Amino acid sequence: MTHAAHTLAERYIASWNETDALRRRSMIEDVYTEHARYTDPMVDAKGWQAIDATIVAVQEMFPGHRFQLAGVVDAHHDTLRFQWHLATPGAAEPLVIGFDVAAMEEGRIRQVFGFLDKVPQVI
């Protein structure tokens, strides 16, 4: 399951980086179950449309920034966890550091619990 979990986490991160609306929506539908839920300290999004709107809002808040996996993706019993960074390309330090735990269902994400470990003061 480790390879499959890593691949799913990579696809998840790629959906957060995709700026083309049609490609992003297609990625969201591929990565998440239809009624998936994404929650973090600032949002509780339910379903593909709300998740898409959340990603767009983050992209607008941090233009030019990119998400990337930071470390190993850990997984067991249809659950995965991983840390990620948000930074401008080539930055020495990430602007935001987060940690997500995702519950899977038939190879797609049905729920994400997001935690923010480092955030800029302006948020």
What's 79's domain CATH number? Answer: 3.10.450.50
Range of the domain at 107: 2-118
Question: Is residue 12 included in any domain, yes or no?
Answer: yes
Question: Is residue 123 included in any domain, yes or no?
Answer: no
3-42 pLDDT, tens digit per residue, is 889 999 999 999 999 999 999 999 999 999 999 999 999 9
Question: Is residue 32 included in any domain, yes or no?
Answer: yes
Chain-centroid distance of CA 104 in Å reads: 14
Angle value at C-alpha 114, between 45 and 77, nearest 5 degrees:
100
Question: Residue 22 contacts by C-beta under 8 Å, 6 or more apart in sequence?
Answer: none
Q: Residues 117, 41: contact at Cβ < 8 Å?
A: no
Question: Is residue 112 included in any domain, yes or no?
Answer: yes
Residue 72 carries which side chain, given as an amino acid letter?
Answer: V
94-119 pLDDT, tens digit per residue, is 999 999 999 999 999 999 999 999 99
Q: Residues 31, 11: contact at Cβ < 8 Å?
A: yes
